[in-house]
Structure 1
């Protein structure tokens, strides 16, 4: 029997439905909750995005919210290359996400600020629209 769902995750890039790392293809399967929004800035890195939260250039970044198990969280950590210390590609954050007229506390993978130096913001907050256009 799979572990019980323990938290929510907000996915905004390749983990979104139809993305290269679609969370719905991972196991144990997540449970879709709804579309969500946070304020931040998206950056383009080759075939994937990075998000920084807040800031003067912040826009509404859209994504999907899922309930996940600790086992699936470990899979996501590997995909997002979470390692101890300052060299991690992403850092795990717990943030409030607006999900269809309610607020849900979610895990979010925020890009390491050192990785965005010299990169230009995408200018909008929907990776799927950017990536498919």
Structure 2
């Protein structure tokens, strides 16, 4: 019997360890793979952030290996399945693992906020939800 396929997820906001939706408290338990960054811009949406991928900025987060069951639970939390609110969409992108050479890390699932939800929202200049201060 083969082991189930494992995917990776990049979490950058309230799913980070120690935050209100701490992914490490979810079941089946994820496996921490390391800190990483991804190209993008982080926005302050009040109680949680939103990430738009691409551009020159870097957003800090944590990478976890997850099971298909946990991926489904994350889809529910981010409201991309079964009820699709349109606030977030699930993408798969390469990340830059901390401490790694210039080569990119694993492909990771990322929940990206829809641009239509960003009107009037401040950019988190640091790219790190834990060090949030609005940008210019």
TM-score (norm 1): 0.87
- 1:13-41 Cα deviation digits (max 9, x unpaired): 00001111000000000000000101111
Moved more, 26-35 or 99-108: 99-108
Structure 2 residue aligned with 1:120, among 119, 122, 129? 122
For structure 2, the residue ranges without an aligned partner over 5 or more in a row are: none
Runs of 4+ off more than 2 Å: 83-87
Q: How many residues of Structure 1 are paired with residues of Structure 2 in the alignment?
A: 127
Aligned to 1:28: 28
TM-aligned CA distance change 1:86 to 1:75, over 3 Å: closer
Q: Distance in 1 between matches of 2:7 and 2:84?
A: 25
For structure 1, the residue ranges without an aligned partner over 5 or more in a row are: none
Q: Which has the higher contact order (CA 8 A, sep 6+)?
A: 1
Contact 1:5/1:68 (8 A) holds in 2 = no
Computed over aligned residues only, the root mean square deviation of the Cα atoms, in angstroms, reads 2.0
Contact 2:13/2:129 (8 A) holds in 1 = yes
Q: Find the residue that maps to 2:123 and give its secondary structure.
A: coil
Q: Distance in 1 between matches of 2:84 and 2:124?
A: 24
Cα drift, residue 118 of structure 1: 2.2
Aligned to 1:95: 93
Q: 1:1-133, aligned counterparts within 5 Å?
A: 4-55=4-55, 58-83=56-81, 87-100=85-98, 101=100, 102-130=104-132
